[in-house]
Structure 1
């Protein structure tokens, strides 16, 4: 059987004259323009298009099944197995392909802001703009750190290399393969840069629990009193928007870990969804898109070079990648203490969940495992009405281990650090999508501020009788009518029927978590 030693290795690849290592942002920008990979916008950001794939390709993601992973990984539709033989075959092909390139770009850095737990990585790319993306999203080493840097995981990104499904053991031309034994991520057949970011996040989700560190798909910020808040939520729920608070310092917008010392950011940058981005509603994100940032699939005016963030003709999944230091009020380095508050964000297009509810530990574990939000009509081909979407731990595509492992780590920390947990609905009220209206951002912000500042601790709650939520009877600066969902519907009977239908979807989804303690299911889920 072939091994890495019998194939052309990384060392063979990295000794050529075509290697451009650790280039500055300015030099990478020059290369991108010279190679016609992208154009400059009016703010100095680089605008690129990712072609056929404008989002992740989850059906083309694999983990090598070997002695290290066979009995640890939660195999299935998310974590698809691939043999070592197939991986090594593709690895050799990708190495040979990249060796023939006139230029290859190498970034060396870290995943993990805590020096005790960080992972040294290197990202080798065919495109200059992908290397700029890596430099903006991961943690850059100092000169001293770079001199002692030895990569423990390598990403090989060859977007123009296409696999042959008939002989390479994969489903299509596209592949994202993680080998934990060989510490390599192979990416080919797609130009979407988010695959790099999320592959390393998947790696961290496998490695960190072995050190009793809880990896989390969440944003995080901290107040002047060192009060840390975590925001969990799927795409479109407001995770990035709500964690960017001018009165609090940002730790990070997407990936964190919780150790015995506290919370640390896994990344050194932000990858914000920017469809309908405006300076008025999200000034910090808008202003962060400056020189050195990367805009993916955003429509740019040909003459003025001004982005049109409302134009989704290329994709609704338009993205902006920028380093954390483009945000003015951040924590440097991206480390903080233990969280006092956790917010679960959901965009409920059925309009039945309350805008805010206090969760017990059992409810927190239940809703963490459920990871609910809803797809809206028109956002994906074939979606004509709201659809319930469940993604375990608010990040199922990036979890190599069983979701219950991460939920147990959450529950243990809620107990140990006496954390308050709230469910916040940033979706619809007064009826479903198309009938009701989206909950206003200023009310959502007011509710979150009240939760973070402890203003809800002394406010009585009432128990909602379908999901069992504990809803505050009032929240400062929020209309009381808004707090009880059924009061915002014209037809309260229709509200009850809709709520019961969604509750049943929760129950059916939760059946897959067979190993969960019964009290989590009984005390955390909808009332039978």
Structure 2
């Protein structure tokens, strides 16, 4: 019996059948031929990811290496794994891949050439390689000829780890080694693990070069003014940043350098549950040949996608190049931001619909990353629940969050950026009593913020949250701007506002006990 000797990735890529940098058409053909997915009536490729229809944060590890040991913010987000265990896992994954047909994509993360990271993605599945091609930045022929990867993602979804041997928590693993410049992924077919792994890498590398990496969307106005939109799922980040009067730089991941803002990706990864042509026409039109759909319910006969269905998951997704959005900025770079919008969906109905933040308040709310889960949106959620996600992206931050917050504060100072907190949640009472903020009002407030009109307004200080609330805004009733005025029961508002303020305070004290100066900018108990 012949003994297999290939252990290094370079040896495996030289020894087995490998498809390098195939165009979209061939990747789609091969994915269908291999039974990895089916085409919809619009030409998109729909793949099912099986057991895992979202990320597996409890299975994500960072290799505890000497060069990064003192830099990583170790804990539930960045779980350590030893170099020895990583080497065992790496060896076994390489052995598994030796006789597999593989797909390789070479490209970049980072649209600004000064800060971009050359990457290589090696896949067991053709559709995963198509996903990588659509989500990362695609090189020109000249760039590809000179391409040398500085970080490699090896994705072997059919390989399952042995926790007793490999030191993982389960058969699923996402393991990042900064010294080996490699990410190993296996035991899950959810393609988003590739995207977020490289984002985690950039969140480590960019701050070392004085670049703030951000989980946000960005767009640019006709006069070149740049806006950033931060917000967790359900806050309206995608909807509000996809403005027909502005041009999209990117929808999810950006860097902010001395040159300006740049997209880290070359594509969009949009949620498509309840997607409609009327509600989100840009995303609807982007779903065409070459788009990768994940876990969408598709009729076997007509091949029509049913976006209202959550048959497989509510986390249905569409991955497509950013060029599919009309007017997208290519390459994805812009100047210095003029305005930052923090989005929250407050289901308690007590945060102002828009308020202006000082530098210190911006740092506080950036570290808090507040929104709330609505009753009925998840199993077991029967009442509004607070959710705090540090820097609006806590699962992807290798460094201590205060590092990112201090960089944000410094850039706000240097560039004199206006920061607004926008509540797209409830008004007139909590869920079940009040109503969701009208989208037309939110759009009017965001438009006024971006145009500079709100800078001319008069402001009053919210007595609980300490933020500056405008007394007027074009096309928005004055009473709507003051949340207490929208409640029939003023005492109930006062009690609910104090309750939410205390939740902010408790969260901040628990997570950032050392950040006492920033804490002073928060709500008052």
Are 2:161 and 1:158 aligned?
no
Q: Secondary structure at the match of 2:274?
A: coil
Shift of 1:302: 2.4
Q: Residue 86 of structure 1 aligns with which residue?
A: 85
Q: Residue 94 of structure 2 aligns with which residue?
A: 95
Contact 1:136 1:269 in 2 (8 A): yes
Quote the Cα distance in structure 2 between the aligned partners of 1:64 and 1:230.
Answer: 32
Quote the Cα distance in structure 2 between the aligned partners of 1:310 and 1:424.
Answer: 28
Instruction: Return the TM-score normalized by structure 2.
Output: 0.97
Q: Residue 245 of structure 1 aligns with which residue?
A: 243
Q: Residue 106 of structure 1 aligns with which residue?
A: 104
Structure 2 portions without partners, runs of 5+: none
Quote the Cα distance in structure 1 between the aligned partners of 2:40 and 2:433.
Answer: 38
Quote the Cα distance in structure 1 between the aligned partners of 2:247 and 2:140.
Answer: 23
Following superposition of structure 1 onto structure 2, how do residues 400-479 of structure 1 map, counting pairs within 5 Å?
A: 400-479=398-477
Are 2:47 and 1:48 aligned?
yes
Quote the Cα distance in structure 2 between the aligned partners of 1:429 and 1:59.
Answer: 36
The farther-off stretch of 8-17 and 265-274 is 8-17
Are 2:206 and 1:225 aligned?
no
Contact 1:7 1:92 in 2 (8 A): no
Of the three residues 509, 522, 527, the one matched with 2:524 is: 527
Q: Residue 165 of structure 2 aligns with which residue?
A: 167
Contact 1:112 1:265 in 2 (8 A): yes
Quote the Cα distance in structure 1 between the aligned partners of 2:147 and 2:378.
Answer: 42
Quote the Cα distance in structure 1 between the aligned partners of 2:156 and 2:438.
Answer: 43
The farther-off stretch of 391-400 and 277-286 is 277-286
Following superposition of structure 1 onto structure 2, how do residues 158-197 of structure 1 map, counting pairs within 5 Å?
A: 158-197=156-195
Deviations 1:497-517 (A, max 9, x none): 11111111100111121232x
RMSD: 1.2
Shift of 1:160: 1.1
Q: Residue 386 of structure 2 aligns with which residue?
A: 388
Q: Secondary structure at the match of 1:190?
A: coil
Shift of 1:17: 4.3
Q: Residue 296 of structure 1 aligns with which residue?
A: 294
Quote the Cα distance in structure 2 between the aligned partners of 1:190 and 1:377.
Answer: 29
Q: Secondary structure at the match of 2:273?
A: coil
Deviations 1:417-466 (A, max 9, x none): 00000001111122222332221222111111110000101110111111
Contact 1:159 1:189 in 2 (8 A): yes
Quote the Cα distance in structure 1 between the aligned partners of 2:30 and 2:505.
Answer: 53
Q: Secondary structure at the match of 1:526?
A: coil
Structure 1 portions without partners, runs of 5+: 1-5
Q: Secondary structure at the match of 2:419?
A: strand
Q: Residue 3 of structure 1 aligns with which residue?
A: none
Deviations 1:287-345 (A, max 9, x none): 11111001111112222222222212321111111101101111111111000000001
Deviations 1:53-90 (A, max 9, x none): 11111111000001121100000111100000111111
Tell me: CA distance 1:277–1:460, structure 2 relative to 1, closer, same or farther (3 Å): same
Of the three residues 348, 356, 360, the one matched with 1:358 is: 356
Deviations 1:118-170 (A, max 9, x none): 00001111111110100000000001000110111000111111111122101
Following superposition of structure 1 onto structure 2, how do residues 269-280 of structure 1 map, counting pairs within 5 Å?
A: 269-280=267-278
Shift of 1:7: 7.6
